């Protein structure tokens, strides 16, 4: 099982869910370049759209020579996963999409949920939180140096992303339109849709499910966009049922 985290966080997001599957599956977690503890250099030119992330995902699959992959992708990783399947379909057996959205913008009749100016508000939040981000980072690093016994605190601090990375990733994520790839996705697919999700609303999940032939849509009684964090048991049960 290959778990791919969403925008804003890192593989730690899976900590309540992934371990549950470890006894029966080879569980693979990773951080996207620029997120979590990834080591490769983040190049704006490569990651200005999702294809850079897709290439990396494909590289993970081919380098580790993964077969019969059950792909679990949260949020933007749902689309990254579908795009990777286009390239190496025979390596995948099932795809599980948590809170997916093929397009966050409202386009014509389609209601992705956001207007362009609202995405700009997001970019603005990312930019203005640069200081907060670096302050927190600095204080944590300082703790580490002055009090070696607090190293624990540092290693437990998750989901920190460099603002440049966040800005680029956000642009690639929220301004893209991947609706056209949905009908061609021919692998058994489960879609987990939150009851109250401010990023990917129910209509978006329903649209995604209608467009992916034969996909299964399951509603989770969860508030928010990250059920694997706020309602891990519901998430595990839904995945188990599907598998």
Partner 1 sequence: MTDSSSSLNDRIQKGITKHAADFFDQAPCGCIITTTQGEVIRFNDQLRGWLGYGKDDLPEGLHFADLINKGGRIFYETHFAPQLAMNGQISGIALKFLRKDQTELSVLIAARRHYDGEGEPLFQSIVVTNFTDRKVYEEGLLAAKRTAEDNDQAKSVFLSTISHEILTPLNAVLGTAELLGASDLSDQQSHLQSILVRSGNHLLSLFKNILIISKSGLDELEPVRQPFRPESLLSTTVDSFRYGSERRNFVYALEIDENTPEVLIGDSTLLTQVITNLVGNASKFTKTGTVTAGVSVLERKDDDTCRLRFFVRDTGIGVEQKHLDRLFTPFTQAYQNIHEQYGGSGLGLSICNNILKEYGSKVEVESRIGEGSTFWFDLTLPVGDPAEATSEHLGNLPPINQGHVLIVEDNRTNSFLVARYFRKWEVAFDIAHNGQEALEAVASKPYDLILMDLKMPVMDGYSAARGIREMPAPVGNVPIIAFSASASLAISERMRVAQIDDFILKPFAPRHLYNLVSQYLNPSIMKYPELREAMDNNPEDLERFAEVLQRELTLAADELVTALSKNDAQKVADIKHKLKTSLQLMDGTAIQHDFAAVSQDLRNGVTVSAARKSGLVEKIRQASRELSRERW
For partner 1, the binding residue among 174, 207, 235, 236 (CB under 8 A) is: 174
Asked if 195 and 219 count as a contact pair (C-beta separation under 8 A), the reply is yes
DSSP 4: E
Asked if 231 and 203 count as a contact pair (C-beta separation under 8 A), the reply is no
The dihedrals phi and psi of 55, each to the nearest 5 degrees, come to: -60, -40
Torsion of CA 70, 36, 105, 175, to 10 degrees: -110
* 93 belongs to the binding site for partner 1 (CB under 8 A): no
Secondary structure (3-state) at 24: coil
Q: How far is the CB of 192 from partner 1 (least distance, A)?
A: 15
Q: What residues between 126 and 145 interact with partner 1 by CB under 8 A?
A: 126-129, 131-132, 135-136
Q: Considering only 19-27, 77-85, 153-161, 206-214, which stretch makes contact with partner 1 by CB under 8 A?
A: 153-161
Q: Considering only 22-30, 141-149, 157-165, 210-218, which stretch makes contact with partner 1 by CB under 8 A?
A: 157-165
Q: What residues between 52 and 91 interact with partner 1 by CB under 8 A?
A: 59, 62, 75, 87-88
Calpha distance 90→67 (Å, rounded): 8
In the residue annotation, 75 being an active-site residue is answered as yes
Residues in the chain: 243
CA-nearest of 97, 98, 115 to 106 is: 115
CB proximity list for 241: less than 8 A, separation 6 or greater: 218
In the residue annotation, 99 being an active-site residue is answered as no
* 241 belongs to the binding site for partner 1 (CB under 8 A): no
Which of 35, 75, 99, 101 is an active site residue? 75
In the residue annotation, 225 being an active-site residue is answered as yes
Catalytic residues, by residue number, are 75, 197, 225
Binding site for partner 1 (CB under 8 A): 6-9, 12-13, 41, 43-45, 59, 62, 75, 87-88, 114, 117-129, 131-132, 135-136, 156-161, 166, 170, 174, 196-199, 223-226, 229-230
């Amino acid at each position: 099982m290959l778990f791919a985290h969403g925008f804003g966080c890192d593989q730690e997001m899976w900590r309540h869910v992934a371990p549950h599957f470890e006894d029966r599956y080879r569980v693979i977690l990773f951080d996207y370049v620029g997120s979590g503890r990834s080591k490769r250099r983040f190049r704006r030119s490569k990651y200005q759209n999702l294809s850079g992330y897709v290439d990396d995902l494909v590289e993970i699959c081919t380098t580790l020579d993964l077969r019969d992959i059950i792909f679990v992708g949260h949020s933007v990783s749902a689309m990254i996963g579908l795009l990777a399947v286009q390239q190496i379909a025979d390596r995948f057996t099932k795809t599980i999409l948590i809170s997916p959205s093929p397009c966050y913008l409202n386009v014509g009749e389609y209601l992705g949920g956001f207007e362009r100016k609202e995405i700009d508000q997001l970019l603005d939040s990312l930019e203005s939180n640069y200081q907060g981000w670096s302050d927190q980072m600095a204080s944590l690093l300082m703790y580490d140096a002055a009090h070696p016994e607090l190293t624990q605190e540092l290693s437990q601090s998750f989901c920190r992303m460099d603002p440049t990375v966040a800005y680029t990733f956000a642009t690639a994520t929220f301004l893209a339109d991947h609706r056209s790839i949905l009908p061609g996705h021919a692998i058994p697919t489960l879609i987990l849709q939150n009851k109250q999700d401010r990023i990917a609303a129910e209509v978006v999940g329903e649209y995604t499910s209608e467009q992916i032939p034969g996909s299964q849509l399951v509603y989770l009684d969860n508030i928010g966009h990250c059920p694997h964090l706020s309602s891990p048991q519901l998430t595990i049960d839904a995945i188990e049922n599907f598998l």
